[in-house]
Amino acid sequence: MRRPRFFNLLLIGSGTLLGALILLPILALLLAGWSSGLLHLLGQPQVLQALWVTLLSSLLALPLIFLLGLPSAYGLSRCTGRLRRSLEILLELPMVMPPVVAGLALLLAFGRRGLLGGLLTDIGIRLPFTLGAVVLAIIFVITPFFVRRTVVLFDGIDQKLEEAALLLGATQLQSFLHVTLPVVRRGLFAEGVIALAQGIGLFGVIILFAGNLPGRTQTLSLAIYSAFENDPQQAFGLGALLLLISLLLLGTVHLLAPREGR
Partner 1 sequence: MNGLTCRLQYRLEHFELDLDLQVASGVTILLGPNGAGKSSLLRLLAGLGQPDSGKVTLGEHCLYDSNKQIDLPPEQRRIGMVFQDLALFPHLDVIGNIDFGLKMRRIQTGERRQRVQLLLEKLGIEHLASRNVATLSGGERQKVALARTLVTEPQLLLLDEPTAALDPAARGEIRRWLQTILTRLNIPTIMVTHNAEEAAYFRKRVAVMEQGQIVQLGSFHQLLREPGSEFVARFVGVNYILGEVRSEAGKLQFVSCGGSRFLAPFEQVTTGPAFLTVLPWDIALYRELPEGSPRNHLHGEIREVVIIGDRVRITLSREDKLVAEISARGYIALGEPQPGEMFWAVFKAREARIENSDELPY
- Asked if residue 73 lies in contact with residue 154, where contact means CB atoms within 8 angstroms, the answer is yes
Length of the chain measured in residues: 262
Cβ proximity to partner 1: between 3 and 185 the closer is: 185
1-37 in b/e form (b: 16+ CB < 10 A) is eeeeeeeeeeeeeeeeeeeeeeeeeeeebbebbeebe
Cβ proximity to partner 1: between 15 and 258 the closer is: 258
Give least dist CB 156 to partner 1, A: 12
Give least dist CB 226 to partner 1, A: 47
Cβ proximity to partner 1: between 175 and 212 the closer is: 175
Give least dist CB 164 to partner 1, A: 4
Cβ proximity to partner 1: between 150 and 180 the closer is: 180
Cβ proximity to partner 1: between 126 and 186 the closer is: 186
Cβ proximity to partner 1: between 79 and 108 the closer is: 79
Give least dist CB 180 to partner 1, A: 10
Give least dist CB 161 to partner 1, A: 5
User: DSSP character for 128?
Assistant: T
Half-sphere exposure of 260 (CA within 13 A, CB side): 8
Taking phi over 0 as left and psi of -120 to 50 as alpha, with beta for the rest, 79 belongs to: beta
Q: How far apart are CA 50 and CA 227, in angstroms?
A: 12
Q: How far apart are CA 10 and CA 17, in angstroms?
A: 11
Give least dist CB 257 to partner 1, A: 16
Tell me the longest C-alpha to C-alpha distance in the chain.
73
- Asked if residue 151 lies in contact with residue 77, where contact means CB atoms within 8 angstroms, the answer is yes
What is each CA distance from 143 to 27, 191, 242, in whole angstroms?
31, 11, 22
Which residues would be at the binding site for partner 1 (CB under 8 A)? Answer: 158, 160-161, 163-171, 174, 178-179, 182-183, 185
